[in-house]
Chains A and B, each alone.
Chain A
Amino acid sequence: SAVISQKPSRDICQRGTSLTIQCQVDSQVTMMFWYRQQPGQSLTLIATANQGSEATYESGFVIDKFPISRPNLTFSTLTVSNMSPEDSSIYLCSVGEGPYEQYFGPGTRLTVT
């Protein structure tokens, strides 16, 4: 299985600012995914990060709010823009060759005040 790291592991940010979360994988992977887990809720897919093309966003998530970069097969970033307290969540990246049996990073715990 792939080893996935995320930076930062946690952050406390002020309303209206932006935070960029990095995801690094120790091997080349085709598909990378970004999830959000709000307090007491399930993991929700934000988008699929495609290498060399724009990310594919799920319903309810837009590029202006969550811009994603995927410059190569081992790295991706997710930016949470113009943050509000409702964005306080754990953000996780994952990798897999498809939707099955994905491997997750440790997550980034974001608190917006």
Chain B
Amino acid sequence: DQQVKQNSPSLSVQEGRISILNCDYTNSMFDYFLWYKKYPAEGPTFLISISSIKDKNEDGRFTVFLNKSAKHLSLHIVPSQPGDSAVYFCAASAGNTPLVFGKGTRLSVIA
């Protein structure tokens, strides 16, 4: 049973527009959420995170929103750039437990 779900395997967005990547989770004990970005032939790189005590965290063009009641989080990228084209993984942790990852969403930003 997947505890972290990214239901969209791929997303295509025009350059300059907003990219919204979604993630749902089932474990109500998760208290820390992260987004990683992965380019081909490279390992995932940490992008942004949010604690369960917050509902929004912003870092430059990247904003993560957390809706605990819906067990849903989303990553907004605005404006999207061609260099943002990558696979994005959502991950979650409960206390000090290992990260649980989703399957990833491939974002393509079209110039």
Task: Give chain A's interface residues, CB within 8 Å of chain B.
Answer: 1, 4, 9, 33, 40-45, 48, 58, 92, 94, 98-107
Interface size of B as a range: 20 to 34
Please state if B98 and A100 are interface contacts (CB–CB under 8 Å).
no
A43-B91, A100-B49, A101-B49 known; 19 new pairs, CB 8 Å cut-off, are A33-B98, A42-B89, A42-B101, A42-B102, A43-B89, A43-B99, A43-B101, A44-B101, A92-B44, A99-B99, A100-B32, A100-B34, A100-B99, A103-B43, A103-B45, A103-B46, A106-B42, A107-B41, A107-B43
Please state if B41 and A106 are interface contacts (CB–CB under 8 Å).
yes
Q: Kindly name the residue among B2, B49, B98 whose own CB sees the greatest number of chain A CB atoms within 10 A.
A: B98
Task: Give chain B's interface residues, CB within 8 Å of chain A.
Answer: 2, 4, 32, 34, 36, 41-46, 49, 89, 91, 93, 96-104
Please state if B43 and A98 are interface contacts (CB–CB under 8 Å).
no
Please state if B4 and A42 are interface contacts (CB–CB under 8 Å).
yes
Please, which residues of chain B bring their CB within 8 A of the CB of A104? 36, 43-45
With A100-B49, A101-B34, A101-B49 as known contacts, state yes or no: A43 contacts B44, CB within 8 Å: yes
**Residue from B2, B45, B93, B102 in contact with A100 in the complex, judged by beta carbons closer than 8 Å:** B93
* Closest beta carbon of chain B to A112's beta carbon, Å: 19
What's the Cα separation between A102 and B91 when bound, in Å?
11
**Residue from B4, B34, B43, B100 in contact with A106 in the complex, judged by beta carbons closer than 8 Å:** B43
Please, which residues of chain B bring their CB within 8 A of the CB of A4? 43
Please, which residues of chain B bring their CB within 8 A of the CB of A48? 98
What's the Cα separation between A99 and B97 when bound, in Å?
7
Please state if B104 and A99 are interface contacts (CB–CB under 8 Å).
no
Please state if B103 and A98 are interface contacts (CB–CB under 8 Å).
no
Return 30 A-B CB contacts under 8 Å, by A number: A4-B43, A9-B41, A40-B103, A41-B103, A42-B2, A42-B100, A42-B102, A43-B91, A43-B101, A44-B101, A45-B98, A45-B99, A48-B98, A92-B43, A94-B43, A99-B98, A100-B32, A100-B49, A101-B34, A101-B49, A102-B46, A102-B99, A103-B45, A104-B36, A104-B45, A105-B43, A106-B42, A106-B43, A107-B42, A107-B43
